[in-house]
């Protein structure tokens, strides 16, 4: 079995694959203060919920955008699982051609999503990750990572809205029944969600226009992505497991 780990700014998502089959997935908060023992014990306890033995894990691969926790996380995996994880980074075999000014600046999460989007759905494709940040990445028909756009994620926008104003409350992020809001909470929800829908449609259409790719496929992922994907025809596929699948695909390339 293969353990794949996606370390994001807000959450850490783990998946266990047996071949191509995802046997289970888990999510934990990204806390900077965890020790290697806490990581190791927590991960082993998660395995028990799926009746998976630690000895069943043959290898581990990690993509991370949070360098500060990597020493504790990797140490915990080595100590409790007895495996030295593969860390996705510069030099990792991905099959992706990154044609940007500085390829090393492209985050591991974006590379992983791009690999999965391209290999699973074909190119040219735009992969949108509705995470802490919302990212839009263009991968061409030949597998080239051609461009990327980064904007504040829905949660960042929501936090700014209620943290930087004296009287606006903390709210659930969801799409209201109408954009014609008649109360404070639904007006905030309308601004956040419909604003993100509008941004998504504009950016994707602008990518199509500037790249000259009318037939571009659009694949979305990320925790809050389903809210947007269900509300616009601009997104062709919503795949919540895209990053985990990308890690599996990259692992397979590294082991060939």
Tell me the C-alpha distance between 213 and 135, whole Å: 19
Per residue in 176-210, is it b (16+ CB within 10 Å) or e — as a string? beeeebeeeebbbbbbbbbebbebbbebbeebbee
The conformation of residue 55, written as its DSSP 8-state character, comes to G
Measuring CA to CA, which residue among 184, 145, 137 is closest to residue 161?
184
Per 3-state DSSP, the chain is made up of helix, strand and coil in percentages (nearest 5) of 40, 25, 35
Half-sphere exposure of 256 (CA within 13 A, CB side): 9
Strand partners, 28: 12
Within 10 angstroms of residue 154's Cβ, the number of other Cβ atoms is 22
Q: Which of 6, 56, 109, 239 is catalytic?
A: 109
59 as an active site residue: the answer is no
What positions carry a catalytic annotation? Answer: 109
């Amino acid at each position: 079995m293969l353990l794949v780990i996606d370390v994001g700014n807000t959450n850490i998502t783990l998946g266990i694959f047996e071949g191509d089959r995802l046997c289970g997935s888990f999510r934990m908060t990204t806390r900077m203060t965890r020790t290697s023992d806490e990581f190791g014990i927590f991960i082993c306890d998660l395995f028990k919920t799926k009746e998976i033995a630690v000895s069943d894990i043959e290898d581990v691969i990690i993509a991370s955008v949070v360098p500060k926790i990597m020493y504790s996380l990797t140490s915990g995996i080595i100590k409790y699982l007895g495996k030295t994880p593969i860390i996705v980074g510069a030099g990792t075999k991905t099959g992706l051609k990154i044609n940007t000014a500085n390829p090393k600046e492209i985050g591991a999460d974006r590379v992983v999503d791009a690999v999965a989007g391209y290999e699973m759905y074909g190119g040219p494709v735009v992969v949108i990750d509705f995470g802490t940040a919302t990212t839009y990445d263009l991968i061409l028909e030949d597998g080239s990572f051609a461009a990327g756009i980064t904007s504040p994620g829905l949660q960042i926008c929501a936090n700014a809205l209620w943290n930087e104003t004296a009287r606006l409350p903390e709210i659930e992020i969801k799409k209201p029944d109408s954009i014609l809001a008649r109360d404070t909470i639904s007006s905030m929800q309308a601004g956040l969600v419909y604003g993100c829908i509008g941004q998504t449609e504009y950016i994707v259409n602008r990518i199509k226009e500037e790249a000259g790719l009318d037939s571009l496929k659009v694949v979305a992922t990320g925790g809050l992505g389903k809210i947007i994907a269900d509300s616009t025809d601009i997104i062709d596929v919503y795949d919540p497991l895209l990053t985990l699948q990308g890690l599996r695909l990259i692992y397979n390339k590294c082991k060939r």
